[in-house]
Structure 1
């Protein structure tokens, strides 16, 4: 008899999941939106909390790839300064 009640309970769960997928998917989407908003607010206001922004760490990882462009940019700025002085 105990197996029968377990089977009935499992069937209830199965049909509840099969026919209640719209409400479950909406709740999952709402949860992910709330998480996304929380992450965005954390990135925007983390400096107010005394936490440094992680973007500076990510840009440090890009520096080896941008070395050539940064060098040419510095030379370009030097030329512009010389032209303004003349």
Structure 2
């Protein structure tokens, strides 16, 4: 009985993987766009764009600082646009 369940579960996992495969690059691009938008919102006050939630996003900086370098390179900025954050 358990062997049959595992086999059925594996079939469903394989089917799901087959359906996702052609869309893998598109899903990755969409997730990257969401991350870029989130980073823009978090750092918007430092970039000169008013952010009403600035106070609440301050506590997120230590967690997303590692991603900042990748983000500003993807956005086409060779060096960090923020004076307080030097990652290059």
TM-score range, shorter chain: 0.3 to 0.5
TM-score w.r.t. structure 1 length? 0.47
Structure number with higher helix proportion: 1
Which has the greater radius of gyration? 1
TM-score w.r.t. structure 2 length? 0.46
Which structure has more relative contact order (CA 8 Å, sep 6+)? It is: 2
